[in-house]
Amino acid sequence: MHLFGLAMAGHDVDTAVTLLAPDVEFRSPVVFTPYRGRDAVAPLLYAVADVLRDFRYTREIASADGRDLALVFQASAGDKKVEGCDFLHLDDSGLIDELFVMIRPMSGVHALAEAMRARLEAASSGGRST
């Protein structure tokens, strides 16, 4: 398993963030416009680690050169079970410069979106800092 997958599955978000390129682009399953930059993406990873329960990767698929990865996962968002995939692209230095997340079913996406909204609002209003 790629170090990013090991870190996220182990709730070690600090390590996961160090694996992001400074100019990483994150494409969310719930927001159309991509997030750009490690500083923009890091709070989202902390929030995801807080709101997804029973998170585990079940499969890794890699390109021949190892620079493109698909990490398949299962988790719970609220009372909904979700399945998803983190698609990673690694730059020349091995850092993640693209992170694209897909999640199903739609009811799980809605539950995740609501939980993320609440978590990020709490963080911006003085809740737990990330």
State both tokens at 28: 């969310």
> How high is the pLDDT of residue 119?
79
- The domain defined by 3-124 folds into Nuclear Transport Factor 2; Chain: A, (3.10.450)
> How high is the pLDDT of residue 130?
44
Residue 38 and residue 41: Cα distance in Å, rounded? 5
Domain ranges within the chain, ordered by starting residue: 3-124
Quick check: 109 pLDDT over 90?
A: no
Higher pLDDT, 124 or 106: 106
The conformational region for residue 11 under phi > 0 = left, psi -120 to 50 = alpha, else beta, is: left
State both tokens at 34: 């991509």
State both tokens at 127: 């809740």
CA 108 to chain centroid: 15
Quick check: 33 pLDDT over 80?
A: yes
Instruction: Give this prediction's pTM.
Output: 0.86
Per-residue pLDDT, averaged over 56-63, amounts to: 96
